[in-house]
Amino acid sequence: MKNWIAGAAVAMAALTGSAYAEELGDYPERPLMLMVSYGAGGATDFQARIVTMTAGNEDALGMPMAIVNKPGAGGRVGWNWFATQAEPDGYTLGAYNIPHFIAQSIEGGVEYSADSFEPIANWGADPAVFVVGAESPFNSMDDVIAFAKENPGGLTFSGAGLFVGHHIAALQLEQAAGVKMAYIPNNAGGAGAMRAVIAGEVMGGVNNLSDAFRAQEAGNVKVLGVFDLDRNDFLPDVPTLKEQGYNIDNASVNFRGVMVPKGTPQPIIDHLAATVPTMFENGRVQSRMKAGGSPMHIMTRDEVLEMWAARQETLEKLLAGL
Amino acid sequence: MDFLFYMGDVFMPMNFALLLLGTVGGLILGATPGLSPTMAVALLIPFTFQLEPQQGLILLGAAYTSTVAGGAVSAILLKIPGAPANIATTLDGHTMATKGEGAKALQLSFLASAVGGLFGVFLLIFLTPVLAQWALAFGPSHLFWLAILGVTVIGTLDSSSVVKGLLSGCIGLWLATIGFDDIMGAQRFIFHPAVSGGINVIPALIGLFAIPQIITMLTKGRSRSDAEVIKVRRHPIRLAFVEVFRRKTALAIGTITGSVIGLIPGVGGQIAGLVAYDQSKKFSKEGEKFGTGHSEGVIAAESANNAMVGPSLVPLLTLSIPGSPTAAVLLGGLLIHGIFPGPDLFMNYPEVAWTFIDSMLIGQILMCVFGLYIAGFAASVARVPHGVMAAVVLGLAVFGSYSVQNSMGDVYVMATLGVAMYFLERFGFSAAPLVLGLILGPIAEANFIQGAMIANATVGLGSYFFTGWLNWLLILIVVASVSYSVWMEIAHRRYTTKEDAVAKEEALS
Amino acid sequence: MTDLPRSQHIIASGLIAAVGLTVAAISFTQEPADAFVFPRLISSVFAVLAIWTFGKAVLGRSKVGNGLSAQAMRNLLPGLMVMGIYVYWAAKALGFYTSTTIAFFVLLSLYDPAPHGRLGTWLKRAAITAGFMAVIYGLFALLLNVFTPKEILF
């Protein structure tokens, strides 16, 4: 039934294409802005700059997209701004990170929730991984958990902050293994958390697969497990947590994509939802992303809506126990 | 000596053209208020998509070096520090400019930048492996003590009264806690929507320095008197060379402090200039002249902030960890070409790595040449009537603070802080310690919380923060710094009359 | 030095002490306590120093600072009003470029010592305004692609 409706909607969209064009007017007639709620140089910022680099092409939006960074408090600053102050005029877009903003909205104290935004398309999925320093005695997740069982609350491990993907992964690990560990949120994001692992300030850490892959190539860390349903192409030799006997799904995978504020005119949303995924599929974008070690995962607006709803449910359950 | 081998690549026509473009562009972007080196480099990233990896990095390397130095232009001429790195430059640099010595101040700043910058890049070339260990040595407890060390500097920085200096610092520390706290995500002191995202350092900097400046100009009314009388003194470049190398202490302290602090991830770039300024003030024979347009102040601050450029890249190039936001952006510039920095970088892509480093060396020299050239005529800014000047600075301040993150809230924060700062300055408070508090607050807090979390899970608070030679060393420096300030305050009191203090304040305003 | 700065010192440091005490009061009452550990520490020091300064001002022992003179305030008032209207209202309501042009021109005219009577003066002021706006537009709109709250041209 659902598919039928979706199919009908697509057909309708195709039939009424000309009508939409009228409502759209000359959109977009000036450059667009993409708000990134992390600082310049972070993984989200870096990927956003790559996936939007072809926005100005005629077959994409026909207008360039400028990145504006609004970093602070794990993304809360940017998303608060986006939910409350961004103009829903179709020229103000934002990058989302799942599960970050959903987890933060469940935790409370912010002015947004999944209902404040309209997703457009997803470009990437970066699973969390468990890393330890290259010299660490731990060689598998079992070693880590065994240590944690002997020293309850004594195993320190870093991550990018509270109520972000890394923290979700950490909570899932504690729950699945039934141990208490010391999660140390880092104020300098994923890079800071990785530094803490390499410098030996903490015994291990949860980090982005893309960054961990690079750090492993550089010989600085060992990657012990992937918090995802399947192994990743970048690290085919690293088993998932599930394979190692911990019942952990992909709730912590960091999905990145583009959204607009609620209230943006429907024709514009439809237009963006149709064009943006093709923009992500551009060959140059794909090759640059691959070169940078950033796993891509393109999803359409409908798929993203479904994924958001699913995450909302899982995270509510997971965080209820806190 | 690999770097000499690849030096030729820098001078290939296309590469050299990009190097020139990066240097000139960097100077312009750096001189633009509100545009920090990080943003300037991030803005250039899209251009490098089209270029070869080697060429892209030449552009980025040149831009990085020259934006840091370019910030001195607006700091000296307009008293708008483009980035935290240039705060210390305003203290003496702008005072020199108002005395008609703008040309001299700019020349000194570019020469000192080049000396510091070259030293920093040479450190990067020769001592990378050693420095990499040093960069990793700083954990949360050390960064906490380092931030505390910065706080102790607050009392003596650019203020005639230690108590008022500390109070200014406290106001800054408090302002830094506004907004969401970085680790827990709790909301603190959000009394107006404009500060819901916290107070961004760059708009705050612009407001705290530029607005009091505008207001001071406005209080002079429509009189013809002040600005026009100032004669802009020509200053031969030869004399600038002599001056820079005569001030050996300031130059050495600036360069060494800059390179050492620049290496420390996350802290370095922001406070290198201020710490160097304060240190050379304490070591100088003419310490009391600091803040009144003294050349040592400019030399120490500028040599420090450029010396930091080379070492700040060490963690990135060797460990693949970006130590500063700018390094993170450069990492992006490498990644899009499929180049992963790390120990193998110099083996796998020597032509990219070494040309990049060489371009920073040559970039330092080009930056100095262009800078000295600009200094000649840019200094006549001091002759601009103050009505025009006030309007220009206001326009730049508004646009500059808005452009940081396209936020009207930042403009309100900038203006409000600025107006408040003007009145505070009239009562003996100063902007520099306030800003230092604003920068150090989050560093001290976040590292204390992280350190405490690690300590509670492992060895306990006491031994985590108070053992280990690096902790001891830092604590020792903190104690020394505090005792020095206390001693100075007592010694100072014996002979400072109200008139002396007022006279110094007059010279400052 | 008359008595004026002394009373001004008392008012100024009194205001700061009030801010310090307010901040301290908020820090010690707000929840969650975990997030307010650091603010409590700072605000305690802040409040103590502010009270100390206030005490010194009351005793007439504030040494540094020049205070405010009536003449300076009179000179300042029109400029501050233009600034206030420009920053807090016009920039957003009229658009950045429009309001900056107006504010720049008005500020220039208010504080330019050249005689108001001559046409040449006004032409010169208009030319300076146009020149400045061209630089700003080139730098921020064209080079840096900054989005102003309204359309890019405003």
Judge whether residue B498 has pLDDT over 50: no
Q: pLDDT category, B492, cuts 50, 70, 90?
A: low
Report the pLDDT averaged over residues B126-130: 78
Structure token pair of residue B301: 């601050």
Give the distance from residue C76's alpha carbon to the nearest chain B alpha carbon, in angstroms.
5
Q: Between A3 and A225, where is the model more confident?
A: A225
Q: What letter represents residue A29's amino acid?
A: E
pLDDT, position A269: 92
Q: Which of B218, B404, B445 to mutate to test the interface with C (most CBs of C within 10 A)?
A: B218
Interchain pair B197, A80: CB under 8 A:
yes
Report the pLDDT averaged over residues B344-348: 76
Judge whether residue C3 has pLDDT over 70: no
Set of chain A residues whose Cβ sits within 8 Å of the Cβ of C151: 30
Mean residue pLDDT of chain B comes to 81
Cα-to-chain-centroid distance, residue C122: 28
Judge whether residue B494 has pLDDT over 50: no
Interchain pair A77, B183: CB under 8 A:
no
- Peptide bond between residue A119 and the one before it cis (omega within 30 degrees of 0): no
Q: Between B39 and A287, where is the model more confident?
A: A287
Contact status of A56 with chain C (Cβ, < 8 Å): no
pLDDT, position B224: 57
Set of chain B residues whose Cβ sits within 8 Å of the Cβ of C107: 387, 390-391, 394
Going from the C-alpha of B185 to that of each of A70, A72, A82, A101, B197, the distances in angstroms are 15, 9, 17, 12, 11
Q: What letter represents residue B29's amino acid?
A: L
* First vs last C-alpha separation in chain C: 49
Beta carbons within 8 Å of A259's beta carbon, 6+ residues apart: A93, A94, A95, A96, A117, A118, A119, A120
Interchain pair B320, A184: CB under 8 A:
no
pLDDT, position A21: 46
Q: pLDDT category, B289, cuts 50, 70, 90?
A: confident
Burial class from Cβ neighbours inside 10 Å (0-12, 13-18, 19+) for residue C128 reads buried
Set of chain C residues whose Cβ sits within 8 Å of the Cβ of A64: 145
**Can you give the pTM of this predicted structure?**
0.83
Contact status of B498 with chain C (Cβ, < 8 Å): yes
Judge whether residue B496 has pLDDT over 50: no
Judge whether residue A58 has pLDDT over 70: yes
For A98, list phi and psi in degrees, rounded to 5: -105, 140
pLDDT, position B418: 93
Give the distance from residue A114's alpha carbon to the nearest chain C alpha carbon, in angstroms.
25
pLDDT in tens, B212-253: 888 988 888 776 554 445 566 777 778 888 887 888 888 999
- Closest among B396, B383, B410 to C133, alpha carbons compared: B396
Q: Between B28 and B155, where is the model more confident?
A: B28
**% chain B with pLDDT above 90:** 7
CB C57 within 8 A of CB C48: no
Judge whether residue C1 has pLDDT over 70: no
> Which residues 94-153 on chain C approach chain A with CB closer than 8 angstroms?
145, 147, 151-152
Judge whether residue A7 has pLDDT over 60: no
DSSP structural state of residue A239: P
Interchain pair C145, A31: CB under 8 A:
yes
Contact status of C18 with chain B (Cβ, < 8 Å): no
Report the pLDDT averaged over residues B465-488: 83
Report the pLDDT averaged over residues A280-289: 86
Of B181, B319, B458, the CB nearest to A73: B181
CB A90 within 8 A of CB A28: yes
pLDDT in tens, B54-63: 888 888 888 8
Q: Between A244 and A28, where is the model more confident?
A: A244
pLDDT in tens, C75-109: 888 889 999 999 888 888 888 888 889 999 998 88
Judge whether residue A14 has pLDDT over 60: no
* First vs last C-alpha separation in chain B: 50
pLDDT, position C34: 76
Contact status of C104 with chain B (Cβ, < 8 Å): yes
> Which residues 372-401 on chain B approach chain C with CB closer than 8 angstroms?
385-388, 390-392, 394-396, 398-399
Give the distance from residue C35's alpha carbon to the nearest chain A alpha carbon, in angstroms.
13
Report the pLDDT averaged over residues A237-266: 91
CB B389 within 8 A of CB B116: no
> Which residues 48-87 on chain A approach chain B with CB closer than 8 angstroms?
49-50, 53, 67-70, 72-74, 76-78, 80-81, 84-85
A165-179, B342-356, B488-502: which is most confident? A165-179
pLDDT, position A17: 42
Report the pLDDT averaged over residues B437-449: 86
Question: Which long-range contacts (C-beta less than 8 Å, at least 24 apart) are formed by B388-391?
Answer: B388/C108, B388/C112, B388/C128, B389/B217, B389/B227, B390/B214, B390/B217, B390/B218, B390/C79, B390/C107, B390/C111, B391/C103, B391/C104, B391/C107, B391/C108, B391/C111, B391/C132
Q: pLDDT category, B497, cuts 50, 70, 90?
A: very low
Alpha-carbon gap, residue B393 to A202, rounded angstroms: 47
Report the pLDDT averaged over residues A160-171: 89
**% chain C with pLDDT above 70:** 86
- Angle, vertex CA A6, rays to CA A4 and CA A9, nearest 5: 110
Q: pLDDT category, B499, cuts 50, 70, 90?
A: very low
Q: pLDDT category, B159, cuts 50, 70, 90?
A: low
Burial class from Cβ neighbours inside 10 Å (0-12, 13-18, 19+) for residue A92 reads buried
Report the pLDDT averaged over residues B380-392: 77
Set of chain A residues whose Cβ sits within 8 Å of the Cβ of B328: 39-42, 191
Run of H or E residues at A33: strand A32-36
Q: Between A35 and A284, where is the model more confident?
A: A35
Minimum Cα–Cα distance from A65: chain C residue = C145
pLDDT, position B389: 83
Q: pLDDT category, C64, cuts 50, 70, 90?
A: low
Set of chain A residues whose Cβ sits within 8 Å of the Cβ of B39: 40
The bridge status of strand A156-159 relative to strand A204-208 is parallel
Task: Look at A261-270, B269-278, B400-409, C55-64 and tell me which has the smallest mean pLDDT.
Answer: C55-64
pLDDT, position B452: 87
Mean residue pLDDT of chain C comes to 81
CB B405 within 8 A of CB B193: no
Report the pLDDT averaged over residues A213-240: 89
Q: Which of B189, B200, B321 to mutate to test the interface with A (most CBs of A within 10 A)?
A: B321
Judge whether residue B281 has pLDDT over 90: no
Beta carbons within 8 Å of B13's beta carbon, 6+ residues apart: none
